[in-house]
Amino acid sequence: MLNVLSREEAVSLIKEKTADIVPATEKVNISDTLGRMPAQDIVAAENIPAFDRTTVDGYAVIAADTFGSGASMPAQLDIIGEIPMGESADFTLKSGQCAKISTGGMLPKGADAAVMVEHTDNADGLCLIYKSVAPYENVTKKGDDIALGETALKKGSKITSAEIGVLAALGIYEIPVYKKPVLAIISTGDEIVKGNIKQGQIRDVNTFLLSAAAKEYGCEVYEYGAVKDDRNEIETALKNCINQADAVLISGGSSAGTRDMTVEIIDSLGKAYFHGIAMKPGKPTIFGIVENKPVFGLPGHPLAAYFVFRLIVSEYLNNIMNMPADKPKKSGVLAVNIPSNHGREEFLCVKYDENNEVVPVHTKSGIVSVLSESEGFIRIERNAEGMFKGTTVEIYEL
Ligand code: AMP
Ligand code: MG
């Protein structure tokens, strides 16, 4: 079955085969939406602010009344009242008049600017203004923050504290979000154990690493744990996970070795669509569908499993929840030449050196600590013969 696809081909095949999978939605209180994905655009049904507001403590004025005023020639305006916070003024300002106002207060009718108290003097009911203001100076106009009809929250943009603030301003306290997809995680390998290990055994890393990565992508996780390289055990695990989850990740047992039966099991319970992607790490990646649920076979090597999650599984998650593909957020200049001519798209963990230039973090096979030492990873194109020192590279965050 090892017909190797490019990453783009793999991603688009997954997209095509999972096109009819739509996550359910649920209404959630905004206080519980941090990190969730909105299931629809949220449009502002009102203006924020709902009225013209001052941004300073001082006097609401008609800007034209202050024109030409300066330190030696202050404008003189009658103070006709004070606007209490949280209330609207019950008067209209006419030329020659002003009213006391505090930051955030509502401008009275007729006023179109505010003068900072620092630029005024108050003498016998008269306000002396030492600095002219332009129309709407020191004012946030109605709808300046969020205008009626504006999209306040876009479908597919992960909700952060900033968006929750916007929703609160609009008085929207409950919104529809996608239900968290449940990802089941199975680790395979006769040598894989949790807890105490004997000579020759190694601890299960993938269950925990992939579970955390899945949670970072807004998933819930069903950790099945580690199973032996045994057809019945793997089959039982996969059937159980298909019942419990929306998608399944099986790590290990995905290379073309004699004991590697993951692809056969997926194909016997459903259909395996590919086995092999021209990427490094991550070549022995499997994708199939069992009972209309995607099943991803990941390499056993924890670093490779992580990359396949970040570059393949994440695309599937982004896709069903309408999220844009991950983009590199940092960049830097390579401090060294990086050779590569594998005919595979390559991903390399990197960090900044003492000169703030980018260097690879060397990956000895089987070592997982490389992830925690890295700043992120770079991408080397499939047909590039490496990259030269001095090249600016984009860095994907881990
Ligand atoms: P495999 O894909 O099964 O051939 O595994 C490749 C390498 O990754 C082997 O050295 C395994 O021991 C190791 N490996 C597989 N699964 C895990 C796991 N869950 N945690 C840590 N290492 C693993
Ligand atoms: Mg194995």
Q: What is the mean pLDDT of the chain?
A: 93
Ligand 2 centroid to Cα of residue 302, in Å, is 11
Which distant-in-sequence residues (6+ apart) come within 8 Å of 113 by Cβ? Answer: 60, 61, 62, 63, 66, 133, 134, 135, 136, 137, 138, 139
Confirm or reject: Cβ of 223 under 6 Å from ligand 1. no
Q: Is pLDDT of 258 > 90?
A: no
Confirm or reject: Cβ of 206 under 6 Å from ligand 1. yes
Confirm or reject: Cβ of 205 under 6 Å from ligand 1. yes
What is the pLDDT at residue 1?
Answer: 47
Q: Which of 251, 296, 363 to mutate to test the pocket of ligand 1 (most atoms within 8 A of CB)?
A: 251
Ligand 1 centroid to Cα of residue 298, in Å, is 10
Q: Which atom of ligand 1 is nearest to the CA of 254?
A: 2
Rounded average pLDDT over 221-238: 96
At which residue do the structure tokens 């020192």 appear? 389
Q: Is pLDDT of 177 > 50?
A: yes
In Å, how far are 113, 136, 361, 375, 389 from 336, measured between CA atoms? 58, 55, 12, 16, 4
Report the distance separating Cα 81 and Cα 98, nearest Å. Answer: 8
Confirm or reject: Cβ of 253 under 6 Å from ligand 1. yes
Residues with CB under 5 A from ligand 2 (ion): 189, 252-253, 300
Cis ω on the peptide bond leading into residue 281 (within 30° of 0)?
yes
Looking at all shown ligands, the one closest to residue 191's CA atom is 1
Burial (CB < 10 A; 0-12, 13-18, 19+), residue 160, is: exposed
What is the pLDDT at residue 125?
Answer: 85
Which distant-in-sequence residues (6+ apart) come within 8 Å of 143 by Cβ? Answer: 47, 48, 49
Ligand 2 centroid to Cα of residue 245, in Å, is 23
Q: Is pLDDT of 220 > 70?
A: yes
What is the pLDDT at residue 287?
Answer: 97
Confirm or reject: Cβ of 202 under 6 Å from ligand 1. yes
Ligand 1 centroid to Cα of residue 206, in Å, is 8
To the nearest whole percent, how much of the chain has pLDDT over 90? 87
Confirm or reject: Cβ of 332 under 6 Å from ligand 1. no
- Reported as a single tens digit per residue, the pLDDT across 82-123 is 999 999 999 999 999 999 999 999 999 999 999 999 999 998
What is the pLDDT at residue 156?
Answer: 85
Ligand 1 centroid to Cα of residue 301, in Å, is 5
Q: Is pLDDT of 37 > 80?
A: yes
pTM > 0.75: yes or no: yes
- Return the residue whose CA atom lies nearest to atom 14 of ligand 1: 300
Confirm or reject: Cβ of 366 under 6 Å from ligand 1. yes
Band of the pLDDT at 260, cuts 50, 70, 90? confident
Confirm or reject: Cβ of 189 under 6 Å from ligand 1. yes
Confirm or reject: Cβ of 297 under 6 Å from ligand 1. no
Ligand 1 centroid to Cα of residue 228, in Å, is 12
Q: Is pLDDT of 40 > 80?
A: yes
